[in-house]
Chain A
Amino acid sequence: MTNLSVLYDAPGPRARRRNTLLAVLFVALLALGAWWVWRALDENGELESAKWTPFVNSQAWTTYILPGLQATLTAAALAMVIALPLGAILGIGRLSDHWWISKPCSVIVEFFRAIPVLLLMLFANEAYALWTNVDRADRPMYAVVTGLVLYNASVLAEVVKAGILSLPRGQRDAAQAIGMRKSQTMGYVLLPQAVTVMLPAIVSQLVVIVKDTALGGALLGYSELMRSVGLVSANYGNIIASFIVVALIYILVNFLITSFASWLEGKLRRGKRSTGKVLTADPAGATAAAGVGAAPAAGTGDAPKP
């Protein structure tokens, strides 16, 4: 895993003894912490079986959790499907030779990346209420998806831009040398190769989107997975248990997505048909630097990987 050897030489007998001692101390510390948490939970009666059995029966699942999960995944999928083409347009637009295309695209991207996605959702929610006749019940969903699209389109624009820039210069030169137009160069030569380079980064962005849908549940009343915590605990009086179960579902979903992304990345890196370069996403949702020199690094492999 980590290249330990940068920091540590192979341990000798003394280092090994010290490491064992550290391990024992650390385990003791962990056990102490675990005991403290356990006691706090036990004193408040959070460990009673009555609070956990709802998750063994199917009712809590079919009534609250699974519909919530479905709403979360729907919003995330919709946001991704809409944001991706928009992001591609903005990203390619930023690379345009015409300043009157590239400048506005840059401004849009930098603007939406600098603004918290929650503000975008609040704005969208109110905008739909004021200026459209979207049904009251559907409005939170529209607002969540709109907020996510605005933010993630600009993040994906950076991914697309970095993907295209990561291709060897010769690709563009060769395409132009055989007489292709700029649009042909982009459409037949650069973009298809860039897509394979940036696929892992795009999949990883899904994790950020899934996590951000929770905002809609907490602050706009979109009845997704996060909101089912409130519903379940209101019914069974088991706040801690429902938080833990729902958190585990999120972790599982995101773990599946990241595993898929790294599998894809490994496959593409080994693949013969691509340049062997792969964009790794910065999974912080932190891709959001306000621009300046913070585009995701191509193929350096030093971006934090999940």
Chain B
Amino acid sequence: MFEFLDLERYDLFGAFWVTVQLTFYSALGSLIWGTVLAAMRVSPVPIMRAFGTAYVHLFRNTPLTLIILACSQGLYFTLQFDMGTGGDPEPLGFRLAVLGFVAYTATFVCEALRSGINTVPVGQAEAARALGLNFSQVLRLIVLPQAFRSVVAPLANVLIALTKNTTIASAIGVAEAAALMKVMIENEAQLLPIAAIFAFGFIVLVLPMGLFLGWLSKRVAVKR
């Protein structure tokens, strides 16, 4: 049944490895940029709040496909912004895709973090201040430990969505799983087995992630 699966010709594991790498770097980048955005959105400086809000609303309402294509056709082909690759197509597509994923996913990370901070009751911080703790102590000892715990579940959702969204990188020719699937179903007359393999691949990636992070979020949840 699976004799069409010529691993010499179709680099199945390589394609999923690219998916994993895309997910990893994009997750890292969007965690950093999303944290910066969240810091802006809760900062006491109105102009920073306004920028954070505008950024989140603009990028989250744009289709990811459009962002990825704009990174490739706009940033690279029109503005010759080559991300330090000198135009070598292999790393170029990968880096442009990561850039697009980070720009998009960071908005969801930002919103998850912000809602996490908002779940901490005001009384907690007021009590801490009443005890004489200063700003950094309030943040470090009282607010953030509680916020991080309630943020695990929404961040897990964002990570899982990101894993699935990396398939969109095939729109700009990154050789990840969806691109390979497209090639394989065009070349081989074996739609169901091919679809089953790729579906299985994503379930293997996503399901353990969901199980582990779901377990973790229950374990660390703050009982209120």
Residues of A that sit less than 8 Å from B by CB: 1-9, 11, 15, 19, 22-23, 26-27, 30, 40-41, 44, 46, 110-111, 114-119, 122-123, 126-127, 130, 207, 210-215, 217-219, 226, 229, 239-240, 243, 246-247, 250-251, 254-255, 258, 282-294, 302-304, 306
Contact = CB atoms under 8 A, between A and B. Distances in A.
Given A116-B165, A284-B108, A122 B211 contact: no
Contact of A111 (B112, B178, B203, B218): B203
20 contacts: A2-B41, A6-B143, A7-B125, A111-B199, A117-B164, A119-B177, A119-B181, A122-B185, A123-B191, A126-B186, A214-B64, A215-B168, A217-B65, A240-B78, A243-B66, A250-B62, A255-B57, A284-B158, A292-B214, A306-B60
* Interface residue SS majority, chain A: helix
A302 B156 contact: no
A304 B153 contact: no
Interface string B109-134: 00110111111111011100100000
A286 B171 CA distance: 20
A306 B58 CA distance: 11
Contacts of A250: 61-63, 66
Interface stretch (B8-16, B69-77, B83-91, B92-100): B69-77
B178 A118 contact: yes
B191 A293 contact: no
Nearest to B196: A123
B105 to A, nearest CB: 9
A79 B130 CA distance: 54
B202 A119 contact: yes
Given A23-B46, A115-B199, A251-B58, A7 B161 contact: no
A114 B150 contact: no
B47 interface: yes
Given A115-B199, A218-B171, A255-B61, A302 B118 contact: yes
A287 B70 CA distance: 26
Given A288-B164, A289-B156, A26 B51 contact: yes
A60 to B, nearest CB: 17
Contacts of B165: 116, 285
A303 to B, nearest CB: 7
B33 interface: no
Interface in B196-224: 198-199, 202-203, 206-207, 209-211, 213-215, 217-218
B60 A283 contact: yes
A222 to B, nearest CB: 12
* Interface residue SS majority, chain B: helix
A213 B65 CA distance: 9
A40 B81 contact: yes
B167 A116 contact: yes
Given A116-B167, A119-B181, A214-B65, A303 B45 contact: no
Given A126-B191, A212-B63, A247-B62, A304 B114 contact: yes
A7 B168 CA distance: 38
Contact of B78 (A15, A44, A288): A44
Contact of A292 (B74, B119, B125, B211): B211
Contacts of B215: 292-293
A155 to B, nearest CB: 11
B115 A302 contact: yes
Most buried by B among A117, A207, A219: A219
A215 B166 CA distance: 12
Contacts of A258: 61
A79 to B, nearest CB: 14
A247 B70 contact: yes
A284 B107 CA distance: 9
Nearest to A246: B66
Nearest to A9: B129
A11 B65 CA distance: 43
Interface in B159-174: 160-161, 164-165, 167-168, 170-171
A11 B44 contact: yes
Contacts of B69: 218, 226, 229, 243
Contacts of A285: 161, 165
Contact of A23 (B41, B45, B74): B45
B32 interface: no
Given A2-B118, A23-B46, A289-B214, A115 B202 contact: yes
Contact of A4 (B42, B66, B218): B42
Given A9-B129, A282-B154, A290 B181 contact: no
Contacts of A3: 118, 122
